Structure 1
Amino acid sequence: MEDGPRIRALLESDDPLAAEAALWADLRSVGTPLIEPHPDDPDTCLVTFLWYADRPVERVVVNEAVSSLPPEARALSLAPGTSTWFATWPVKSDVRTTYHFEVFAGSGSERIGDEHARVREPHDYSVLGSPESVLVCPGAEPLSWADRRPDIPRGTVTGAVLGDGREVWVYTPPGYDHLADPLGVLVVLDGHARHSAVTVLDNLHADGRIEPTAAILVGQLDRNAELTCDAGFSRFLAWELLPWAREAYRLTAAPARTVITGCSLGGLCAAYTGLRHPEAFGNVLMLSGSVWWDPDTLREYFQLAGSGPRAIGARSRTPAIIGEYMRAERAAIRIFQEVGAFETGPPPATPHQIHASRHFRDVLTLKGYDYVYREFAGGHDETWWRSHLGDGLIWLTDPRGADRG
Structure 2
Amino acid sequence: MCRVFLLFIVLFAACTTERMTNIEQLMEDLSAAENASQREQHIEHFMEQVRRTGTPLIENDTTVIYLYQGANKRVRILGDITQWADNIEMENIPGTDLYYYRGIHPAEARLEYQLIIDDDPPIADPLCPYKVLNGLGSHSELAMPGYTYHPALESVRDGTPGDYARVTQHLLPSGIMGYATDIYVYTPPEYESLNTHHPTIYVLDGQDYIEYAHAPAVLDHLIESGELEPVIAVFIAPPNRHAMAIPNRSTEYGMNPDYARFMADEVVPFVEKHYRSLALPSARLVAGPSYAGLASAYIALHHPNVFGLAYSQSGYLSFRSNALVEAYRHAPRKPIRLYVDIGIYEQMVGLGWLPDDAVNFLEANRQFKEVLTEKGYDFIYQEYPEGHTWGNWRTYLIDALSHFFPADIQSEQTP
TM-score (norm 2): 0.79
Instruction: Check conservation: 1:61, 1:102, Cα contact below 8 A.
Output: yes
1:110 alignment partner, SS class: coil
Cα drift, residue 118 of structure 1: 4.5
Residue equivalent to 2:144: 137
Instruction: Check conservation: 1:94, 1:139, Cα contact below 8 A.
Output: yes
1:200 aligns with 2:200: no
For 1:159 and 1:145, the matched residues in 2 are separated by 24
Percent identity of equivalent pairs: 28
1:48 aligns with 2:57: no
One of 367, 377, 382 as aligned partner of 1:369:
377
1:116 alignment partner, SS class: coil
For 1:396 and 1:6, the matched residues in 2 are separated by 45
Residue equivalent to 2:171: 161
For 1:148 and 1:292, the matched residues in 2 are separated by 35
For 1:71 and 1:326, the matched residues in 2 are separated by 35
1:216 aligns with 2:226: no
1:32 alignment partner, SS class: coil
Q: Deviations over 1:289-341 (max 9, x none)?
A: 111111xxxxxxxxxxxxxxxxxxxxxx4x01111101111111100111112
Cα drift, residue 233 of structure 1: 0.9
For 2:65 and 2:281, the matched residues in 1 are separated by 48
Cα drift, residue 23 of structure 1: 1.5
2:185 alignment partner, SS class: strand
For 2:392 and 2:149, the matched residues in 1 are separated by 10
For 2:93 and 2:316, the matched residues in 1 are separated by 40
Residue equivalent to 2:339: 336
One of 263, 284, 305 as aligned partner of 1:237:
263
Count of residues paired in the alignment: 355
For 1:285 and 1:87, the matched residues in 2 are separated by 37
Instruction: Check conservation: 1:226, 1:233, Cα contact below 8 A.
Output: yes
Alignment of structure 1 residues 309-328 onto 2, 5 Å: 317=321, 319-328=322-331
RMSD: 2.3
1:76 aligns with 2:90: yes
Q: Deviations over 1:193-230 (max 9, x none)?
A: 53522122112211223322111111111112211211
Residue equivalent to 2:27: 11
1:24 aligns with 2:59: no
User: Which 5+ residue runs of structure 2 have no aligned equivalent?
Assistant: 1-10, 12-20, 157-163, 174-178, 240-247, 410-415
**Which amino acid in structure 2 is aligned with residue 20 of structure 1?**
I
One of 189, 213, 220 as aligned partner of 1:174:
189
| Closer, same or farther: CA 370–155 of 1 in aligned 2, 3 Å | farther
Residue equivalent to 1:301: none
User: Which 5+ residue runs of structure 1 have no aligned equivalent?
Assistant: 38-43, 295-316
TM-score (norm 1): 0.81
1:378 alignment partner, SS class: strand
2:304 alignment partner, SS class: coil
Cα drift, residue 148 of structure 1: 4.6
For 2:100 and 2:200, the matched residues in 1 are separated by 47
One of 105, 118, 121 as aligned partner of 1:110:
121
**Which amino acid in structure 2 is aligned with residue 260 of structure 1?**
V
Residue equivalent to 1:99: 113
